[in-house]
Amino acid sequence: MRIACPFCGERENGEFTYLGDAKPKRPAMVAIDGGAGAPGEAEAFYDYVYLRDNFAGEMSEYWYHGGGCRSWLVIERNTLTHDIKSVRAAPGAGAAKAGAK
C-alpha cells in the first residue's frame, strides 16, 4: 500500500503506523478542582475507549508518518479494497500556518 502524505508525497506503507478508527472523539478535558468530573463522563469514555465499529468498506483512520515527517494523518480508506480516497493532516500538524491564537 502507498500513502500520499500531504507533506511528503506518496510513500510506502512501511513508513507509517496504523492506529485505528478516527471517528470516535475524545471527550473534552474538563475543569476539576477536588470535585467530580463531568456528568456522564464514565459512559462517554467507555464509548471512546472501547466501542468500535467493524467496517467492511470505507472508514476514516488515524495513521502516523513516524518513518517520515511525524505527522498524524486522517485517511479515508476502503478496508475491502485498500483503496485510499483521501489523506489529510491532523489539525495540529501544520498549526504554525493556521491562524494565530
Partner 1 sequence: MADFTWTTRSPLQQAVIAGRHGAAIAKAGIRLSEIRDFDLVQVFARRGQWAATAKAAKAYFGVAAPTGPKAVTGKKGVLVWSGADQFMALSPRLGTIQPVDGLRGVFEGFASLSDQSDGRCLIRLSGPRVREMLAKVNSLDLHDGVFPIGAAATTSIDHTAVNLWRDADAPDGSPVFNVLVFSSFADSLWHTLVDSAAEYGIEVETVSIAVD
Partner 2 sequence: MASAQSNRLAKGGLIDRNAPLSFTFDGKAMIGYAGDTLASALVANGVTLVGRSFKYHRPRGILTAGPEEPNALVELRSGARREANTKATTAELYDGLDALSQNRWPSLGFDVMSVNSLLSPIFVAGFYYKTFMWPAKFWEKLYEPAIRRAAGLGRTSGIADPDHYEKAWAHCDVLVVGSGPAGLAAALAAGRTGARVILAEEDRLAGGRLNSDGGEIDGMPAGEWLAGALAELEALPNVRIMTRTAVFGVYDGGTYGALERVNDHLPVPPVHQPRQRLWRIVAKRCVVAAGAIERPIVFSGNDRPGVMMASAVRTYVERFAAAPGKRLALFTNNDDGWKTVEAAHRAGIEIAAVIDSRKDLSQHHRALAQSGGFAVHNGVVVDVKGGKTGVSGVEIALANGGSAQIAADVLAMSGGWNPSVGLSSHHRGRPKWREDIAAFVPEGAPAGMLSAGAANGDFSLSACLRTGHEAGLAAASDLGFKGRAGKAPAASDEAISISPLWHVEGRKKGFVDFQHDVTASDIALAQREGFESVEHLKRYTTLGMATDQGKNSNVTGLAIMSELTRRSIPQTGTTIYRPPHVPVAIGAFAGHHRDENFHSVRLTPSHHWAAERGAVFVDTGLWKRAQWYPIAGENDWLTSVNREVLTVRNGVGFCDVSTLGKIDVMGKDAGAFLDRVYINAFASLAVGKARYGLMLREDGIVMDDGTTSRLAEDHYFLTTTTAKAGPVMQYLEFCRQVLWPELDVQLTSCTDQWAQFSIAGPKTRDLLREIVDPAEDLSNEGFPFMGVREVRLRGGMFARLFRISFSGEMAFEISVPARYGDAMARNLMKAGEPFGVVPYGTEALGVMRIEKGHIAGAELNGTTTADDLGLGKMMSKKKDFVGRVMAGREALTAPDRQVVVGLKPVDKARRLRSGAHIIPKGAAVGPDTDQGYVTSVCHSPMLGQWIGLGLVERGRERIGEIVRAHDPLRGEDYYVEICNPVFYDPEGGRQRG
Query: Residue 99 and residue 91: Cα distance in Å, rounded?
Result: 12
87 makes contact with partner 1 (CB under 8 A): no
Residue closer to partner 1 by CB (options 14, 57) is 14
Query: Could you tell which of partner 2, partner 1, none binds residue 23, using a CB distance below 5 to 8 A set by kind?
Result: none
Query: Residue 7 and residue 10: Cα distance in Å, rounded?
Result: 9
Picking from 9, 25, 6, the residue whose alpha carbon sits closest to that of residue 97 is 6
62 makes contact with partner 1 (CB under 8 A): no
Binding mask 3-32 for partner 1 (x = CB under 8 A): ----xxx-xx-xx-----------------
H/E stretch holding 23 reads none
Q: Minimal distance in Å, beta carbon 19 to partner 1?
A: 18
Please name the residue that has the C-alpha cell 502516523. 64
